[in-house]
Structure 1
Amino acid sequence: MAASSSTSTTGNAEVSQTDNGLIDSEKTIREIIQQPLLLENDDPLIEFSEALETVVKTLRRVTEAKASAQAEAAEWKRKYELERARNLQLEQKESKLLACSSMLSLGGRCSELNVEKGREPTEQTMFSDENRMQCELGGGEEGICSHLVLKNDGPDIESYAAQNKVMGKASFKLSWYCKGEKSDSHKHDIVSFEKGNITTAERSSKQICLTWESPPQTVLVATKPNSAPVRKACLEMVRWLKEHKNLNVFVEPRIKAELLEESSYYSFVQTWRDEDMPLLHTKVDLVLTLGGDGTVLWTASMFKGPVPPIVPFSLGSLGFMTTFSKDHFDKDLSSVLVGPVNIMLRHRLQCHIIRRDAAKSEGPILVLNEVTIDRGVSPFLTYLKCYWDGTFVTDVQGDGLILSTTSGSTAYSVAAGGSMVHPQVPGILFTPICPHSLSFRPLMLPENVSVRVVVPVGSRSSAWVSFDGKGRKELAPGDAIVCSMSRCPVPIASQSDPTSDFLRSIKSLLKWNLRETQLSDGPRH
């Protein structure tokens, strides 16, 4: 509504009013408050200023509540759409089961359930497809099948499986093992209440062994750019994969150009176009990375859903995740291609950016290490509001906040004062960056928590968010980011076992707890 201003002057204070006598905006209120008071008796103006300050705070709270409600509504809408899609998939499967039952009753054969006349489908067969839709560990009593961990989020799982069969994509299964010994069953943490006593079963090490059910045929090779040693190793490894194993080799478009520049011999390598990226996991059985942890992060980001097993070769600076040496790659790869292989499932975070304008929201974005929210080039403190599962937890005032996976606990999070956590521990690290509070300590949250971080409308400046150190985006006042654990982890091969690799990394790379041993001589009690 257009405001016609009338001006009344008392001393040097000028008050701008609307037609109905109410203040037009928070900006006008602040201008009034900041004007000098020159009257000898300024008590009425001080009271009026305090009243206006109260109005400013009320307007700010209303605006922040509205932005928070909009963000929460967008999140609930996303969850509703995901649940609706899941229900539609289940309905389609039920209709197929009914159709198969009808065919069986008429004496026909049902290829969907792989059963014939005279053979009733078992309960395990009837519900195998439903179990396939669950991307959870320990989903079955007899080990873990690949589709339970590396699940395809597409709308038609059966057509995806049929496509893999035609293409000859290798299948595998994952099984639990303890202390290096293979085990066909997972020892769940089962609670017993026998005789009124609460006890738990023996806890599994939750270490996983991959066994190929059919030999891998297609390998993707990803490399660190602008490195002469890496380029030399890539040439040697690609040639060996073709000549000694007769495998189909995929590389990034950049790498293919480098190989062809070296020799026309490498014309057999294949690559992909940008529009083919969403289906890349359907073509690749195994991934090899040549570089450091950054190369592994980049490679994982290429897969927006399930990730094939990754064998990382160390040619980088540190290498917490790269446990294989390039010096004897032929021996290591021969062992991996035959199997079994020790696997560590490294969890990822799934992030959605929710804008005040819902049409500009972004996501999902998958990260393997951390999500970093900082103040960017602004000289002001970052002001953030944090919610866990919709419940307000705390404000963050400082340089920023890190939401990290346990794999990323040895990266930016530990530099900001967070703890180092074994990668197999499921959880989300909540680490502030230089908080302006002596009592703000890092926390570790359970894996099922959804974290929402909001830039309040009253914040002095925008915040900036980056994902595994790249893809930097601005979060304007009123915007939010929602992070939760992804259902598709990154399976990375281990040289020996995950725990030994982790301890070796923190000791050799971070020099964890290295100290000269105290001499035995000296005073004694």
Structure 2
Amino acid sequence: MKHPPKSILIVNKLRTQPVILAIDAFLEHVHTKYPGVRVFHEDRPDIPHGAEVWQGAKVQPIDLVVTLGGDGTILHASSLFSTAAVPPVLSFSMGTLGFLLPFHIDDFSRALESVFQGKATILNRMRLACRFYDQELMNISKDNDDWQVMNEIALHRGSSPHLNTIDIFVDGQHLTEAVSDGLIVSTPTGSTAYSLSAGGPIVHPSLSALVLTPICPRSLSFRPLVFPASSLITLRIGDRSRSPAGVSMDGRVSHVLNPGESVNVQASPYPVPCINRSSIVEEQSNVEGAGPGKEDDWVRDINNLLQYNATFRSKALLRHSRT
């Protein structure tokens, strides 16, 4: 960040007692150490004392978003900026584990200090822009705006007993007719979410790419594909499809696509700039590993959260180390 933030938006999950205490401590710290900074909160019945009601980015521009909760809280924060650039996001975990949570709430004073001193390092996490069309190729997206998606867009058969038939086009060229429970188009960030559970690859979030992953395909040769971020992927419900396709974006149900209807998916011009934990790594000399500003949160997370390539031997050693 080039300039110290003048406005902060707090986005949090349900206000359980730990969240209430954390927000109160955070607000007191900001008002005491950074008295000129305005702190906003979504217009909800549980808005904390000391925060102003946020009326939206067009009315009250935000310099920094602070989230308290899990990965879902960050996805919700991203959705609040669906038609414009997202401010830098500083994410704090509330005891939960997640790929998008580099900081624990106990570190909030150090993390804020790195931001205000201009030492914060940023990882721009790609988003998807999604637009829906009817059988006549007329735009049926809300207000003609693209939907902005941080993890993935998933087409699925929902409660229907029948498989979906979906035609896939890449840059206007027909790729294949997919017969499956559905399809997922994910960002590199979303590659460790629903796409991973469906057998998709793990992609480093600093890359710009679109990941296409089938959900329980009827063909054994239908494997996940990775496309460059410049690609335009069109998913069209086939005329012969025996069921419509439900659409969920970052876990939110949004549309039902009937035969002949389609969705275009491409890289969004508005990524989510996430502040890295390396922003508060202390300078150390003669110590192995990446220095401040170079620590890779993702490498740490696939080892700690996914237990990447954990063998039976390493699991046994891990159990032994806990006794």
TM-score range with shorter-chain normalisation?
Answer: 0.7 to 0.9
- TM-score, normalising length: structure 1: 0.54
Partners of 2:162 and 2:306 lie apart in 1 by: 33
Q: Give the number of the structure with larger relative contact order, counting CA–CA contacts within 8 Å between residues 6 or more apart.
A: 2
User: Which of 153, 162, 173 does residue 391 from structure 1 map onto?
Assistant: 173
Match of 2:265 in 1: 483
Distance in 1, Cα, partners of 2:308 & 2:84: 35
The aligned residue for residue 96 of structure 2 is 317
> In the TM superposition, what is the alpha-carbon distance from 1:318 to its structure 2 partner?
2.4
Q: 2:149 matched to 1:367?
A: yes
Larger strand fraction of residues: 2
Counterpart selection for 2:9 from 200, 220, 224? 220
The answer to whether structure 1 residue 307 and structure 2 residue 67 are counterparts is no
> 1: distance between equivalents of 2:192 and 2:102?
15
Give structure 1 stretches of 5+ with no counterpart.
1-209, 261-265, 520-525
1:145-174 deviation per Cα after TM superposition (whole angstroms, max 9, x unaligned): xxxxxxxxxxxxxxxxxxxxxxxxxxxxxx
Q: Which of 12, 17, 23 is equivalent to 1:234?
A: 23
Q: In structure 2, what is the Cα distance between the partners aligned to 1:364 and 1:498?
A: 34
Query: What per-residue deviation string (whole Å, max 9, x for no partner) do you get for residues 259-289 of structure 1?
Result: 24xxxxx2xx21134xxx3516x62111111
Q: 1:297 to 1:517 in 2, by over 3 A?
A: closer
Distance 1:401 1:318 in 2: 27
Tell me the CA shift for residue 499 of structure 1: 5.8
Counterpart residue number, 2:111: 332
Is 2:237–2:245's contact at 8 Å kept on the other side of the alignment? yes
Conserved 8 A contact 1:293-1:316: no
Distance 1:239 1:338 in 2: 19
Structure 1: how far apart are the matches of 2:267 and 2:294? 21
1:122-201 paired onto structure 2 within 5 Å: none
Give, in angstroms, the shift of residue 317 of structure 1: 3.0
Give 1:503 deviation, angstroms.
0.8
The 1:359/1:439 distance shift into structure 2, 3 A limit, reads closer
Shift of 1:472: 2.7
**Is the contact made by 2:41 and 2:47 (CA closer than 8 Å) also made in structure 1?**
no
Q: 1:405 to 1:437 in 2, by over 3 A?
A: same
**How far apart are residue 321 of structure 1 and its match?**
1.1
Change (3 A) 1:379 1:293: same
One-letter amino acid matched to 1:465: V
SS of the residue aligned with 1:236?
helix
Residue from 59, 63, 66 that aligns with 1:288 = 66
- The Cα RMSD (Å) is 1.9
CA drift at 1:309: 0.6
Provide the residue aligned with 1:414 in structure 2: 196
Query: 2:274 matched to 1:492?
Result: yes
- What is the TM-score when the length of structure 2 is the normalising length? 0.87
Structure 1 position 482, deviation (Å): 0.3
Using a 3 Å threshold, how does the CA distance of structure 1 residues 258 and 443 change in structure 2: closer, same or farther? same
In our comparison, the structure showing a higher alpha carbon Rg is 1
Q: 1:518 and 1:490, CA in 2 relative to 1: closer, same or farther beyond 3 A?
A: closer
Q: In structure 2, list runs of 5 or more residues that go unmatched.
A: 279-292, 317-323
Amino acid at match of 1:344: L
In the TM superposition, 1:249-268 aligns within 5 A as 249-254=39-44, 257-260=46-49, 266=50
Q: Which amino acid aligns with 1:220?
A: L
SS at match of 2:96: coil
Q: Secondary structure at the match of 2:178?
A: strand
The structural deviation recorded for 1:358 is 5.5
How far apart are 1:236 and its partner, in Å?
Answer: 1.2
> SS of the residue aligned with 2:121?
strand
Higher fraction of helix: 1
Q: 1: CA distance between counterparts of 2:251 and 2:100?
A: 17
Deviation above 6 Å: which 4+ runs of structure 1? none
Tell me which of 208, 211, 218 is aligned to 1:436: 218
Provide the rounded CA distance (Å) in 2 between the counterparts of 1:358 and 1:347: 27
Question: In structure 2, how many angstroms separate the alpha carbons of the residues matched to 1:289 and 1:518?
Answer: 33
In 1, distance between residues paired with 2:266 and 2:255? 19
Distance 2:242 2:131 in 1: 23
